[in-house]
Amino acid sequence: MADGAAPVLDVRGLKTVFRTRGGEVHAVNSVSFHLNPGELLGVVGESGSGKSVTMMSLIGLLPSPPAEVREGEVLLSGRDILKISADELRDLRGAKVGFVFQDPMTSLNPVFTVGNQIMEPLIRHMGMSKSQAERRAAELLALVGIPDAAKRLKAYPHQFSGGMRQRVMIAIALACDPDVLIADEPTTALDVTIQAQIIELVKELRRKLGMAIVWITHDLGVIAGIADRVMVMYAGQVVEQAPVAELFANPRHPYTRALLKTIPSLTGERESRLQVIEGQPPIMSGAPTACPFRARCAHAFDRCGTENPQRRALDRRPVGYGHDVACHWDAPAMVGGAHA
Amino acid sequence: MLTFTLRRLLVAIPTLLFISLVIFLLVDLAPGSPLSDIPLTVPPDVRQRMIEALGADQPVFVRYVLWLRQFFWVEPAYLLDGWFGTNLANGEQRILSWQARSPVFTIIGERIPQTLIVIGTAYLVGVLIALPIGIYSAYRQYSAFDQFGTLFAMIGFSVPTFFSGTLFIIIFAVWLGWFPTKYDTQLEVTDWASFVEQLRQMALPVMTLGLANAAVISRYMRSSMLDNMTQDYVRTARAKGMTERTVVLKHVLRNSMIPVVTVIALGIPSIFGGAIITENLFGVNGIGAALIGAIHASDLPMVQTLAFIFAVLIVTFNLIADILYGLLDPRIRYD
């Protein structure tokens, strides 16, 4: 987690657009972030904020019509992977970057055994023989906490529960020892106790294997439990970014503050109504010319309607390395933290 | 799986019995006794034996049982005699075709190879063409290839075989002279030259029927592939860095083949149905032509036997299709 080391993933000014019959949808608007080795970056946002699209754009997982990565650089260990050929990119996927998807019930191929599916990337990327791959697959299953691993290799996905399937997905993502693991809402479809188990598993794996992780979620509780740094996204932009403790203690963006307020409190007074953020996130049909949050913002003023705020550092570190926020409003520090 | 198969086989028996009852009753309950329609060409002593064997003067139930006996005991006995040289049948009266005056099963035995060769090949060719077309059309949905494939399929299953067959005869046999106009039923394949000749005379019926089959199966394949291309596990396969070829031809295809194999298995009885029109049109002396001939000549034993054989085949292949589905899809375990 040293900030001095070169980031394993460095995204600069990423812009992804969907060309549809009804016009263009600007899903990702100039997103920049970096990921240090061994670090866990949490990405938070509502549905439609562009979190998943950002991550899938990095490794070319979006269907190419209609998606188009228009601008930006994505440096994986220093190499711009937006500029390499599709074949080279395919060699990186699964090998250097592992992906875990949201719905474990449908993410595994139902007609192949679990062992077969884990062995696939091992044989393709690591050039292993079938028996070597089988041994490694059994190791991986044991690593993710599936009992009786060698026998379970021959089982089919439908013979596993949701939590076990997600563990298998993690095993597949980690098979070739990637530098980066991107987890797109991996526990959203699981119940809370299983969610806790998977989180503990990932934490332990990070300790053991040391890979960097991007964890996308809309659950701030999960972020609090697992992330080193957090990036809050809205309408395809990063609106705030900070180390996790700082974000919860001292949120500056109205959206972040509103999000934190929506978490029902277990202590304190029982409220008659849940806190919500009124309105819906916008669908960006063009590059943003104004702040996309202004319609739902309690603190919006004139400048918000004419100029899309750029990220500005709140401490002496550069944007992306400390605490920065994309907002025109100069938020006063919160007394006693965001969560009373 | 085994218990499932056994259970289905057991259920098949009453099904077939019921079908046989319907076939029997349809004929039996028609006005006039079937045996009164025996053509005069049948010699009187044979006629008498037939009447006795089928119990013309007995109540309907007895007649039915005697008919079943004829079908399930006497004929198989003759078949076993033929294979093993035994004498199980002991000279019992066989089901005789009224047209040919030889046993129905003998005639069927002669005709089946023709049907299997010509119509069977047509089915195989149809399947072999349809699968790649369906796969590629789904992969490149809405491309020029897909549009052409759709057009081809539309033509294939809209145009009746008697029309397309006739058209092919006119174009390829009459105008271009590439293929013979008539199917030579006497042709025996003994050397390369006669083999080529057999292929040449098979070409047009195979093309006609193959087109119709390919049209239907390619649509099934395409639709099944399209269903599976958008599934989450395809995204996972891509995220693992597998090549497009592996993603489509291993991950998607294996899932898509399951319903398509079922459809293909269910279509196999139609081979035996002999593609009645095609056989008639091209003069292939297979089972389909036999059935039409028998209907025209009011050859009841032949018609009844063929109808029952088709029923048995359909029930059998239904069972095979179900078993195949269970074998191919690990999620389905019937036990």
**Higher confidence at residue B325 or residue A228?**
A228
Residue of chain A whose Cα is closest to the Cα of B246: A120
Question: Which of the residues A62, A111, A117 would you substitute to probe the B interface, choosing the one with the greatest number of B C-beta atoms within 10 Å?
Answer: A111
The β-bridge relationship of strands A9-20 and A23-35 is: antiparallel
pLDDT (mean) for A221-238: 93
The distance of B236 to chain A (nearest Cα, Å) reads 6
Is the pLDDT assigned to residue B69 strictly greater than 70? yes
Q: Are A168 and A160 in contact (CB under 8 A)?
A: yes
pLDDT at A339: 47
pLDDT score, position A174? 93
- A9-45 pLDDT, tens digit each: 999 999 999 998 888 999 999 999 999 999 999 999 8
Collect all residues with Cβ–Cβ distance below 8 Å to A34 and sequence separation of at least 6: A7, A9, A10, A11, A320, A321
> Terminus-to-terminus CA distance in chain A, angstroms?
30
Q: What is the pLDDT of residue A335?
A: 60
pLDDT of B70 higher than 80: no
CA distance, residue A287 to nearest chain B CA (Å): 28
CATH superfamily assigned to domain A36-58+87-96+176-325: P-loop containing nucleotide triphosphate hydrolases (3.40.50.300)
Residue of B nearest to A125 (CA): B241
Mean pLDDT of the residues in chain B: 83
Question: What local confidence, expressed as pLDDT, does residue A1 receive?
Answer: 44
B236 at A interface, C-beta within 8 A: yes
User: SS3 for A253?
Assistant: coil
Whether A274 and A286 have beta carbons less than 8 Å apart is answered as no
Closest Cα of chain B to A268: distance in Å?
Answer: 42
A120 vs B330: CB contact, 8 Å cut-off? no
Of B117, B88, B39, the closest CA to residue B302 belongs to B39
pLDDT of residue A134 exceeding 90: yes
Residue type (1 letter), A98: G
Q: Which residues pair with A37 in a beta bridge?
A: none
Quote the pLDDT of residue A265: 74
B247's tokens:
């993603």
Q: What is the mean pLDDT of residues A224-242?
A: 93
CA distance A101 to chain B (A): 8
Among chain B residues, CA nearest to A113: B330
Domain spans, chain A: 36-58+87-96+176-325
Helix (H, G, I), strand (E, B) or coil at B178: coil
B231 touches chain A (CB under 8 A): yes
Cα dihedral sign, B277-B280-B284-B290: positive
- Reported confidence tier of residue B54, pLDDT bands at 50, 70, 90: low
Q: Give ∠ CA B327-B331-B332 in degrees, rounded to 5.
A: 55
Q: Where are the alpha helices (DSSP H) in chain B?
A: 2-28, 44-53, 60-69, 75-84, 104-115, 121-139, 144-158, 161-168, 192-229, 232-239, 244-246, 253-267, 269-272, 276-282, 287-296, 300-328
What share of chain A in percent tops pLDDT 70? Answer: 97
CB contact under 8 A, B239 and A99: yes
Q: What is the distance in angstroms between the Cα of B3 and the nearest Cα belonging to chain A?
A: 21
B271 neighbors B116 (Cβ within 8 angstroms): yes
Question: What is the model's pLDDT at position A39?
Answer: 93
Q: Smallest CA–CA separation between A76 and chain B, in Å?
A: 16
Given this model, what pLDDT does residue B38 score? 66
Residue of A32, A39, A31, A33 lying closest to A4 (CA atoms): A39
Partner residue opposite A111 with nearest CB, options B238, B240, B255: B255
Average pLDDT for residues A167-195, to the nearest whole number?
Answer: 93
Measured between beta carbons, which residues in chain A are less than 8 angstroms from residue B142? none
- The pLDDT of residue B297 is 77
CA A68 – CA A243 distance, rounded (Å): 31
Question: Within a 10 A sphere around the Cβ of A97, how many other Cβ atoms?
Answer: 28
Convert the pLDDT of each residue in B197-244 to its tens digit.
888 888 888 988 888 889 999 999 999 999 999 999 999 999 999 999
C-alpha closest to that of A174 among A218, A219, A142: A142
Which chain B residues contact residue A103 at CB under 8 A?
232
| Lowest pLDDT segment from A17-26, A230-239, A261-270, A298-307 | A261-270
Measured between alpha carbons, how far is B57 from B253 in angstroms, rounded to an integer?
60
HSE (side-chain half, CA atoms, 13 Å) at A33: 31
Average pLDDT of span A205-209: 91
Segment 186-225 of chain B within 8 Å of chain A by CB: none
Structure ipTM:
0.88
Instruction: Give me the sheet containing A9-20, strands edge to edge.
Output: A23-35, A9-20, A67-76, A79-80
Q: Do A41 and A228 form a contact (C-beta atoms < 8 A)? A: yes
Q: What would the pLDDT profile of B270-311 be if each residue is shown by its tens digit?
A: 777 667 888 888 888 888 888 888 888 777 778 888 888 888
Residues of A in contact with B232 (CB under 8 A): 101, 103, 106-107
Asked if B245 has any chain A CB less than 8 Å from its own CB, the reply is: no
pLDDT tens figures, B75-133? 777 777 777 777 766 666 677 776 677 788 888 888 888 888 888 889 999 999 999 99
Rounded distance between C-alpha atoms, residue B17 and residue A175, angstroms? 57
Q: Find the helix or strand (DSSP H, E) in which A194 lies.
A: helix A192-209
CB within 8 Å of A224: residues ≥ 6 apart: A244, A248
Summarised one tens digit per residue, pLDDT across range B146-162 is 999 999 899 988 998 88
pTM score: 0.83
In 10 A of CB B14, how many CB atoms? 9
Pick the more confident residue, A264 or A257: A257
Would the pLDDT of B12 be above 90? no
Which token pair is B133?
Answer: 């077309």
Buried b (16+ CB within 10 A) or exposed e, B252-267: bbbbbbbbbbbbbbeb
Closest CB from A106, A111, A125 relative to B254:
A111
Give the per-residue pLDDT at B56: 61
Q: Please name the CATH architecture into which domain B104-328 falls.
A: Orthogonal Bundle (1.10)
Higher pLDDT, B1 or A175: A175
Cβ <8 Å between B232 and A107: yes
Q: Which amino acid is at B101?
A: R
Separation in Å, CA of A189 to nearest CA in chain B: 14
- B57 vs B127: CA distance, rounded Å: 51
- Cβ pair B41, B101 in contact under 8 A: yes
Q: Which residues partner with A20 through β-bridges?
A: A23
The residue ranges of every structural domain in chain B are 16-84, 104-328
Q: Which residue of B has its CA nearest to A92?
A: B241
Residue of B nearest to A118 (CA): B240
Return residues 113-172 of B near A (CB < 8 Å): none
* CB proximity under 8 Å: B 246-275 to A: 251, 254-255, 258
Q: How confident is the model at residue A178 (pLDDT cuts 50, 70, 90)?
A: very high
Query: Rounded CA gap, A44 and A253, in Å?
Result: 13
| A154 pLDDT more than 50 | yes
Give bridge partners of residue A75 from the DSSP assignment.
Answer: A10, A80
Q: Taking an 8 Å Cβ-Cβ cutoff, which residues of chain A contact chain B?
A: 59, 61, 90-95, 98-99, 101, 103, 106-112, 120-121, 124-125, 156, 158, 169, 172-173
Of the two residues A167 and B282, the one the predictor is more confident about is: A167
Q: Are A104 and A187 in contact (CB under 8 A)?
A: no
Over residues A37-60, mean pLDDT: 91
pLDDT confidence of residue B57: 65
